[in-house]
């Protein structure tokens, strides 16, 4: 099996009530591929950075089994920069700046060896670029895509065009409401399924995630954490864990997707415990497995008798 991830690589400035990190490694493709690398290696990555992108970050990605053949480095350009500021409850954030920089002229070129990848994750980037990627692929078995309010508002038609062609859309609750025009999440899911994706995952932050597939629904809890430092990348880590597990097991049945949702939530729970990428830089198989098992313990119960 092979997994291709396309998305942003960023230098993020992050402010939370607990501290501030400046120009630290981030981006949708970064979080997705690092999260997925715990399930499948190599993870093929396509993206773009500027000459200011730290060499240490390149080495870190390589060490995590990320294949950077498709990474374009524009020596005289600047890396994508995002600045986000979280509110006290960490459930909501304001985007202070989004500087596309090298992403403004990015033309995603999928190396020939990557075009036959069986699993494709279209991380959160301009949907016009997501479409360009789709046009170069030779029929992946599963296409998962992520997006955010920035594109729902700014590139609405292009987004509607791309989601017609994908199998699984991953978005958060406010984005699902915005995209569908429905306040109720069940109704929103139905509307979005009509737009194309037969499977939809709605993330609800500290309240877990909902998986919709045809007429079925699965509700996964979030891991109850005592200390959350920085929610940045939680959604992308979720997506990486989800698609990484599906690619590893090469099983896209609904039952296996439920397990994949819990693996996605497991990796996301590590991501939010520390700043930026720190929480998922160096996990062990046992840490992941233990937390996955705890998810199972927290959410199962004996039906008893009435």
Residues that bind ligand AMP (CB under 6 A): 8, 10, 12, 26-28, 82, 98, 124-125, 148, 150, 232-236
CB of 124 to ligand AMP, least distance (A): 5
Measuring CA to CA, which residue among 104, 29, 36, 31 is closest to residue 74? 104
187 token code pair? 């109704």
Point out the residue whose Cβ comes nearest to ligand AMP.
26
CB of 138 to ligand AMP, least distance (A): 25
Q: Which is nearer to ligand AMP, 2 or 126 (CB)?
A: 126
CB of 172 to ligand AMP, least distance (A): 8
Q: Which is nearer to ligand AMP, 28 or 199 (CB)?
A: 28
- For residue 240, the cross-strand partners are none
Q: Which is nearer to ligand AMP, 203 or 248 (CB)?
A: 203
C-beta atoms surrounding 187 within 10 Å: 14
CB of 33 to ligand AMP, least distance (A): 12
Conformational region of residue 70, where left means phi above 0, alpha means psi within -120 to 50, and beta covers everything else: alpha
Q: Which is nearer to ligand AMP, 12 or 57 (CB)?
A: 12
Q: Which is nearer to ligand AMP, 2 or 238 (CB)?
A: 238
CA distance 45 to 164: 23
CB of 225 to ligand AMP, least distance (A): 16
Is residue 290 classed exposed, middle or buried when 0-12, 13-18 and 19+ CB atoms within 10 A define those classes?
A: exposed
CA distance 75 to 18: 34
């Amino acid at each position: 099996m092979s997994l291709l991830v396309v998305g942003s690589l960023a230098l993020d400035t992050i402010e939370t009530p607990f501290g501030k990190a400046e120009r630290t490694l981030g981006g949708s493709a970064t979080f997705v591929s690092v999260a997925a690398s715990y399930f499948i290696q190599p993870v093929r990555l396509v993206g773009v950075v500027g000459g200011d992108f730290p060499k240490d970050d390149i080495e870190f990605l390589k060490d995590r089994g990320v294949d950077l053949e498709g990474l374009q480095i524009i020596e005289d350009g600047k890396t994508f920069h995002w600045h986000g500021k979280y509110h006290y409850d960490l459930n909501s954030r304001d985007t202070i700046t989004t500087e596309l920089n090298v992403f403004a002229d990015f033309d995603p070129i999928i190396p020939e060896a990557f075009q036959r990848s069986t699993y494709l994750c279209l991380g959160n980037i301009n949907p016009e670029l997501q479409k360009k990627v789709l046009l170069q692929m030779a029929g992946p078995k599963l296409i998962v895509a992520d997006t955010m309010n920035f594109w729902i508002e700014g590139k609405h038609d292009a987004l509607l065009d791309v989601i017609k062609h994908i199998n699984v859309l991953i978005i958060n609750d406010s984005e699902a409401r915005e995209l569908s025009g429905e306040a109720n999440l069940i109704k929103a899911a139905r509307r979005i399924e009509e737009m194309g994706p037969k499977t939809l995952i709605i993330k609800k932050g500290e309240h877990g995630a909902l998986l919709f597939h045809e007429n079925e629904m699965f509700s996964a809890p979030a891991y109850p954490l005592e200390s959350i430092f920085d929610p940045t990348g939680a959604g992308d880590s979720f997506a990486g864990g989800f698609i990484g597990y599906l690619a590893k097991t090469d099983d896209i049945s609904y039952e296996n997707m439920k397990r994949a949702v819990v693996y996605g939530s497991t990796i996301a729970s590590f991501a939010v415990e520390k700043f930026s990428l720190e929480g998922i830089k160096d996990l062990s198989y046992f840490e992941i497995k233990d937390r996955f098992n705890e998810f199972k313990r927290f959410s199962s119960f004996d039906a008893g008798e009435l």
